[in-house]
Structure 1
Amino acid sequence: MFTEAIEDILRDHATAAAVRAIEGGASPAPLWAALADAGFLELMAPESAGGAALPLHAIGPVFTLFGSHALPLPAAQSIAARALLAPTGKAAPAGMITLAGQCLRGADGTIAAPLLPFGAIADWVLANVEGGMLLLDASQASRQPSGVHGSLAATLVWTARDLPGPVGDHGERVRDCSAAIHAAAIAGAMGRVFDMTLQYCNDRSQFGKSIGKFQAVQHQLSVMAQHVAAAGIAAELAFAGDGPLPARMPVAIAKARTSMAVPLVAATAHALHGAIGVTEEYDLQRYTRRLHEWRMTDGSEAYWNRLAGQALLAQPQATITDFVRETLAA
């Protein structure tokens, strides 16, 4: 029900033209208001706080939907921030909230959030700082854009005098939520990239027939489809638990698998599209740019594979199948 209602809003407001405009510096306020005024920011908040208390398995498709529309707003992060703040008793502030899964503390007491997703436009940052959870005012930070075309990521730095006290001691949950969100976003964007590539191969003709009829192209599409399907299943695992927030090991598996698929899926899509895929007017690059950015956000597959591998090696008697089954059950 929520997914269909949100998709209607995105179809009307998160058009390709609107996304490009926001990437180019236009105000995100109209698109943000369309989501916020409909009450969708409270989907994960508990009922005691006026939220819908949506279970994880129901919120996962919403976050995937955001990825499939290349939503240029921290909507998923703002939804998760309300669930993260609920146990602390701290009310979520108005405006766009993004998540900083890992911040760096300088010798002079400054706090830096490197290449923060939506750091260029966010009003607030819910940050993991050495295991503590801080709610930081983005307007008090210096912002350094990533320099990547169309990216809304930026590095934010706060001086020591601008830092509030922690609002909670579960900062690591911020990173888990952020990684789960990006796993879902990758899965959604990959699905859109595959659909675009398949359609192009069916429409593009060469030597009197569509290039999708050639066996070499079909092989590439088949491999691409396998990775897209695996990424989608992995993203679902991150939101398969009964708790109010994603758990660490399912998130590790999801983020590792979705990130691992990015280079192959993006490269295959561009190879089959040819030169048109990188043009500003064509939508493919809007998604593949994000896929590469989201792959690295919160740690690439190398980081999350290491966490999952260490957990597996800590149970030497368990098979991989048992490990995955028990991890998901836990």
Structure 2
Amino acid sequence: MDDLFSDAVAQLLRDLSTPDAVRAMEAGGDHRTLWQAIEQAGFADALVPEAQGGAGLALHEVFGVLSLCGTHALPVPLGETVLARGWLARAGVAAPSGSTVFAEAEAGNGELVCPLVRTGRVADQVLVARGGAVRLLPVATAQALPAGFVLDVALRWPAQAWEAGTPVQGDAKALHLLQAVLYAAQLAGALRAAFDRTLAYANERQQFGRPIGKFQAIQHQLAVMAEHVFAARTAAQLGCRATDLVPEALHVAIAKARTSEAALEVAGMAHAIHGAIGFTAEFDLQLYTRRLHAWRQAAGSESYWHGVAGRRHLDSGEALVLDTIRAATELA
């Protein structure tokens, strides 16, 4: 079921989330056509139980879908909406139509302020965590200002907007785990896309009468990139290992730490092999490496999740870190 689901998503994204389409939407072009195609196909309801009209998949079964969002540099929040609708369904809240993203609020001079809402520029609703509570708020009623990545915004609502929002039961800490595992999966997809394009470029670019991929120094860099890409994918899959929705914190820590670590290394080597051309707006590589840098820090960078993993090890009572890692990665 999950393979069929992922294959269907992949076909749609190959047709509608092309590099040229991504550029157009990042520049402010219409994103509604793409979102409507996704929503009409039912992909956003992958984690919603069948009794509520969804596909009834578990988190580990949608890893392929979440990864594809990175593989195709998807400029609309499909991954966020998949997780948000699954969360809302389990909280007994009917999910509104349109896309939903995540954010954390902070106090701000009588306003409700979310300083960085990932993909908020093209979202319809936001699941806002404030303290230990979570509420669903509409983007249309907020003031939006540019922030971070080109599709990110800072949102400001009047103070009364919080009380007017829809209360959503659930632990805000668990919601943060979902955000982290989402970005880990998307990083895995973007890492693979950056590697594939770099490998193709190395086999096409001629220097001194032969492809640069024939030179040992380039081959070494490609080998190191491949190691990071496939280790990151394995870690991201571990992060999604959950029978229902919320994964175990140590699995998430391993996933996000390893994928964020790989993002820096792979982006750097990809641009080194491409030379100056990789940074240009006309070249596709930057669509993926910009996302690698943005998602690396989203929901906590590798240093944050290394700390989480370290505390989990200390709490486990295991004498060796290796024993903790073995226990966490043991196949069921």
Instruction: Please give the TM-score of this superposition, normalised by the length of structure 1.
Output: 0.94
Contact kept in structure 2, 1:241 and 1:328, CA below 8 Å: no
Which stretch has the larger CA shift, 171-180 or 26-35?
171-180
* 2:238 counterpart letter in structure 1: L
Which stretch has the larger CA shift, 188-197 or 83-92?
83-92
- Which sections of structure 2, spanning at least 5 residues, go unmatched? none
Determine if the alignment matches structure 1 residue 218 to structure 2 residue 219.
yes
Query: Which of 103, 106, 121 does residue 104 from structure 1 map onto?
Result: 106
Aligned residues: CA RMSD: 1.6
Match of 1:244 in 2: 245
Residue correspondences, number = 326
Per-residue deviation, 1:328 = 5.2
* 2:169 counterpart letter in structure 1: G
Identity %: 45
* 2:299 counterpart letter in structure 1: D
Match of 1:146 in 2: 147
Cα-to-partner distance string for 1:37-94 (whole Å, 9 max, x where unaligned): 0111111011221111112222011100111000001111111111111122110111
Contact kept in structure 1, 2:112 and 2:161, CA below 8 Å: no
Determine if the alignment matches structure 1 residue 23 to structure 2 residue 26.
yes
* 1:241 counterpart letter in structure 2: A
* 2:266 counterpart letter in structure 1: V
Match of 1:68 in 2: 71
Output aligned runs, 1:266-277, within 5 Å: 266-277=267-278
Determine if the alignment matches structure 1 residue 169 to structure 2 residue 170.
yes
Output aligned runs, 1:51-130, within 5 Å: 51-100=54-103, 102-106=104-108, 108=110, 110-130=111-131
Per-residue deviation, 1:115 = 2.0
* 1:34 counterpart letter in structure 2: A
Give the Cα separation in 2 of the matches to 1:298 and 1:13. Answer: 28
Give the Cα separation in 1 of the matches to 2:318 and 2:269. Answer: 39
Give the Cα separation in 1 of the matches to 2:12 and 2:181. Answer: 23
Contact kept in structure 1, 2:91 and 2:170, CA below 8 Å: no
Match of 1:38 in 2: 41
Give the Cα separation in 1 of the matches to 2:66 and 2:91. Answer: 24
Output aligned runs, 1:148-297, within 5 Å: 148=149, 151-163=150-162, 164=165, 166-297=167-298
Contact kept in structure 1, 2:132 and 2:171, CA below 8 Å: yes
Instruction: Please give the TM-score of this superposition, normalised by the length of structure 2.
Output: 0.94
Cα-to-partner distance string for 1:151-172 (whole Å, 9 max, x where unaligned): 1011112221111263213222
* 2:123 counterpart letter in structure 1: A
Per-residue deviation, 1:22 = 0.6
Q: For 2:135, what is the secondary structure of its paired residue?
A: strand
Q: For 2:167, what is the secondary structure of its paired residue?
A: coil
Give the Cα separation in 2 of the matches to 1:44 and 1:117. Answer: 21
* 1:212 counterpart letter in structure 2: G
Q: For 1:226, what is the secondary structure of its paired residue?
A: helix
